Amino acid sequence: MRYFIVIGLIALGVVFMRQKSQENSVTPNVPPKPEATLTPRPASEHNWAKSAIDRAQEVKQQVKRERASNEVP
């Protein structure tokens, strides 16, 4: 029984190494695709969850601006 486990682990290791070597050799010169940038839509007054997230983001940016202005002598 132990022999089957050892042989199985060795076989899985060989398969894993073979896949990794093929993965590295298949796509060496693929140009990166440009990522689409999405602009956030304003939250609806009925969508309280998105409103809360947007408000939290506004507060974070406000605090960041205040801290930056406080550091300048």
Sequence-ordered list of residues with C-beta below 8 angstroms from that of 53, at least 6 positions apart, any chain: 43
- pTM (two decimals): 0.36
d(CA 52, CA 43): 9
- pLDDT tens-digit readout, 52-73: 888 899 999 999 999 988 876 6
Provide the pLDDT for residue 26.
Answer: 58
Q: Which helix (H) or strand (E) holds 22?
A: helix 2-26
Confidence grade of residue 44 (pLDDT, cut at 50, 70, 90):
low
Question: Residue 10 above 80 pLDDT?
Answer: yes
CA atoms within 13 A on the CB side of 61: 6
Provide the pLDDT for residue 34.
Answer: 73
Provide the pLDDT for residue 27.
Answer: 57
